[in-house]
Each structure stands twice: as C-alpha cells, then as structure tokens.
Amino acid sequence: MLSMLRTWNLHGFLIRKFAPSANYIYMHSLHQLQQNKKEKKKNKNTNKKEEDSHCDPKEYMRNVIGNIYKTLKYSTWDSAQKELENLPLPWDSYTVNQVLKSHPPMEKAWLFFNWASKLTGFKHDQYTYTTMIDIFGEAGRISSMKHVFKQMQDNDVNIDSITYTCMMHWLSNSGDIDAAMELWKEMKSKDCCYPTVVSYTAYIKILFDHGRVKEATCVYKEMIESGCAPNCYTYTILMEYLVGSGKCKDALEIFEKMQEAGVQPDKAACNILIERCAKIGGIMFMTHILRYMKENRLVLRYPVFVEALKAFKVAGESDALIRQVNPQFYIDSGTIRKDNDCFTVDVDKELLFVLLRKRNLVAIDHLLAGMMDKKIPLDHKGISSIIEVNCSHSRPEGALLAFTYSVKMGIYMERQGYLSLIGLLIRSNMFSQLVETVEEMSRAGHSLGIYLASILIYRLGCAKKPAYAVTIFNLLPDNHKCTATYTALISAYFASRRVNKALDIHKSMCAKGFLTALGTYNVLVAGLERNGRNSEAEFYRKAKKKCLHTNAGSEERVCIEEKICNLLFAVDLVH
C-alpha cells in the first residue's frame, strides 16, 4: 500500500470531508438545487404576482420548510395532512426532499413520503428515495430501507452511486457485510453507475470495519488505477486502520505522503487520529500530528483533548506541546468548569492567564499577590506555568511568589514546575529557598532522582553549605540513598574541610552495604590530599588501583548508581 503511495500520481479536486450518512445526501441536494434553479428560471415569468410577494425565495423556503417540520413533529398526522393540503406551495422534488431532510419523526416522514407520492403531477425521484432510505437506515429499520430500495427498482427510478453508497453504509452498520458487498458488485456491473471517491472511500471503510483487509487493499488499488484521486477522508480511513492495528510508523508515512500529494489533513482527520493514538498509546505519531496542528492552527475537540492528555500522562511525557496546540483549554489552566456545555471562568483567573500569554510578568506578580490575599485557588498546572515562565526570564522573585502562593494554598505543583524553580535558585545562589523547594517537592510526592540529587548535594558543598546538603540527603527516599548520593555528601564535607565527618559518611556508606565506586575513591583521594592527609590519601589511591584491576572488563556488571557516581566524580570535580 505504501509503495503505491510513492509511485501513483494523485490529482483532481479533493472534497474536504466525507461523512457516510451526510455527504451523499449533500451531493444529491446540490444536484437537485441546480436542477430546481433551472426549472425556476424557465418559469420565472409564469407567476409574476407570486414572485413580487416573495422577494427572497431562499429565506421564504427556509421558513416554509421549518413550519412544515413543526407541523409534522407536533401535530397528529390527520391535522398535519389538512395543513399540508392547504399550503399554496408547488410540491416538487426539491421541496419534498428538503422536508424529509429536516428530520421529522420517522413515522411522520414515511406518511409524508407516501402522501407526496399521491399528489397530482408529482413523482418521487432518486433524491427523495435516497433521503427516505437514509432516514430508515439511521433508525435501524433495515427491512423498511430495503422496501424503499425495491420500490426504486420496481418504478425504474435511476439508482446512482450515491444511493448505493447510502444502502451499503447502513447495511454494514447493521452487520450485514455480505449484502453490502453484493450491492457494491451490483453497482459496478451497471454501465451508467460509476463509483466516486465518496463511494470508494465508504466501501473501503466498510471492509476495514469488518476485518476484510485484503479486500479493502484491492479496492484502494482499484480506486487509484481508475484515476479516482483519494481525498482527506480516504487517507484518514487508511491511517485509522493502521493505528488501530498498532502500525503507527506506517500511518505516519501515509500522513507525510498525503501532504506531498497535495492533500492536507484537516481538523476532523487530526481529531480522529489523535483519538485512535490515545487509545493505544501511540505517543510518537500523536506528537507528529500535534506539531502539524500547531503549524496549521488546528485544535482538538474537548473530549479528544482529555483522552490525549491522559495518554501523555500515562506515558510520562510532557504535555507542553498539547498545551501549545490547545491554548483554549488552558485559559484557566485546568480550572475551567463545564456547566451545561458553557464554560464559566473567574475574572481574576482569566486575566491572569491572558497576562501570562502576553508575558506581562510584573502585572502577574501584582495580580497573584491579590489572589493570594483573596484566597482564590488556581490549578497546579497554572502555578507550574507561571513558575516556568518566570524561570525562563530569570526572575526568581516572580517564581518564588508563585511558589509561596502554592504553599499557602496547599497546592502541589507538577514535577517540572519544581525542577524549573530549583534550576533557577541554583543559578541565583539562593540556597535556603532551594532547600524549601526540595522539601515541598518531597511532600508533593515527587522525587529528585539520583542524578539530580547528587548534583544538588555536590553544588551545596561547593557553596560551603554542608548543613543544606545533609538536609537534601535526608529528604531522599531510601532507594535513592546510594553510592552516588553518599559520594556527593562526602564531597560536600570535604569542601567544607570537615574531613573526619567525610570519612565517617564513607564508613556509614560501606556499613550499609554500598560498594565504593571509582568516583568515590577519586573524591576521597582528592579531599584528603587537599587537607594535608597524604598518608590516608595514599591508602585510598592503592584501593582505587585495586578496584580498577578487579573491575577491568566487567563494566556491564556495574550497577546504575555506581555508573552515575563515576560519571559525576570519576574525574576530579573537587577543586
């Protein structure tokens, strides 16, 4: 299938979106409207009085159809029939079809259909028959739908590809795939009935939905060979099937190839694919689609957005991209309340996030301080966003204000918010606030991780803040107190010239069963030498050589904690 995409030349006009139970009815209506206009043009001088009294025919018909719909819906058939008979209206095919398309109750629609067939000078055509077929099909009345189709055949009414497509769609929806396939063969056997892109696409979807993959591939190949160019919905169906089968890479290739062929994925296609990917955890393909949506200013529907957000959360991936694509759902950054499908937003919160989008950080500081006094709560994502923006602009005062707000309001932020703040505080040498941030991060249930914890402890040691380094170490969960973090703490004590305490920490580390890594020996040797304790440094230097000889060629057996330790301290990081 993919090789065909590379070689076949795609051309022709591509309709934007295909919907099985709507587009073929639309196409019929279009042809019918054009035909109706021609008839009106021929007879425009036959009733000049009526033309003068109705200067806007479109508005007039819209109102009339609306009134007929209300009559059919709210009146009994007997009273509705009397009103219909008294209407000064020329009952042509277009008017009857518009009444049927207004979706009156199914029983009333059928009674109206039969009533119209008895009108003098009126005869149902392919348009009115197809609409009636669609009404029965949508209601699940398959036997009634077949009865109307049989009437079309018995009355020698022209049956085109649109009528066949409608029948195939509803037959397959009812589970009768064999009957749908028979209709496809019957349609193709007619010399005057040629499949269109709509009918090809609908049939491919029918086959995919019923697991007939080989047949669907053959139909797609036949479609290309016949010179019928696939449209956006055709490609969407192919990609939807591939994603559902776990073949996201193939779907991604089609996504790119269709654009090369001049067919741009639309909003509906992107929403369908994102929804499918969210169900199977296809994060890579989803990310690619979201980038495309961002470039083309497309957005997700709210239910799809929620599912996609869950998928990113389950996968442990950042939701930054989906946030950029769908800023409308982040006006209140998660605190938007949906009530009767209408969003209501607190004025202060809305203003805050408008300022955030405009990067007016000073105004945000004043507004946030006021919200803190009023005890107006924000969502944790909103606080994280404010902190991240302040950190990107190197504004520790603004970031700390948002952090203070979160502490006072009892709001635990996302891990990324804490990490952004920690990075800014390290660069700003604000170590006491750094410790407070780590403490709050620990209460929120987030972990620094072994690597970052080791870096922080080492950095605090370099700043001659061993008490803060110990506090960070003690906040770590037990499974993060390992060779790497112990070595960082040893380095912190050496940096503060507390040699005996550093050696005590090493003894404690060994007593707990942690091996001395090469990075640990480097820290011990460098720390002892710098403090004039050369004999002890020589002892650890010999131990290091022995360790090197023992571990030669056994790098794969070194645990991850020791690898982190060696990465950080196997070179002389202590100055």
CA dihedral sign of residues 45, 46, 50, 54: negative
Last residue of a domain, one of 157, 174, 194: 194
Q: What is the pLDDT of residues 154-173, one digit of tens each?
A: 999 989 999 999 999 999 99
Where in the sequence is the domain holding 431, given as residue range(s)?
A: 331-440
Same domain? 81 vs 131: yes
433 is a domain residue: yes
Q: Which two tokens stand for residue 301?
A: 């529907």
CA distances from 150 to 138, 292, 413, 419, 484 (A): 18, 47, 65, 70, 80
Same domain? 371 vs 434: yes
Rounded Cα–Cα distance for residues 310 and 304 (Å): 10
What's the number of domains the chain is made of?
A: 3
Mean pLDDT for 488-502 is 89
Q: What is the pLDDT of residues 496-543, one digit of tens each?
A: 889 899 899 889 888 888 888 888 888 888 888 888 888 888 888 888
Residue 100: closest CA among 83, 117, 76, 85 = 117
Straight-line distance from the first to the last Cα atom of the chain, in angstroms, rounded to the nearest whole number: 62
Longest CA–CA separation in the chain, Å? 120
Same domain? 462 vs 410: no
pLDDT at residue 390, rounded to an integer: 87
pLDDT at residue 53, rounded to an integer: 42
At position 232, the amino acid (one-letter code) is C
Phi, psi of 18 (to 5 degrees): -115, 130
Q: Which two tokens stand for residue 241?
A: 């099937």
Average pLDDT of the chain, as a whole number: 82
pLDDT at residue 343, rounded to an integer: 34
Same domain? 566 vs 494: yes
pLDDT at residue 42, rounded to an integer: 47
Same domain? 495 vs 410: no
Return the number of other C-beta atoms located less than 10 Å from residue 328's C-beta. Answer: 12
As a 3-state breakdown, the chain gives helix, strand, coil percent values, each rounded to 5, of 70, 0, 30
Rounded Cα–Cα distance for residues 223 and 196 (Å): 9
Q: Residue 30 pLDDT > 90, yes or no?
A: no
Same domain? 24 vs 92: yes
pLDDT band of residue 32 (cuts 50, 70, 90) is low
Q: What is the pLDDT of residues 42-88, one digit of tens each?
A: 444 444 444 444 444 444 688 889 999 999 999 999 999 999 999 98
236 is a domain residue: no
Q: Which two tokens stand for residue 64?
A: 């009339």
574 is a domain residue: yes
3-state secondary structure of 32: helix
Global pTM? 0.51
511 is a domain residue: yes
Last residue of a domain, one of 440, 456, 482: 440
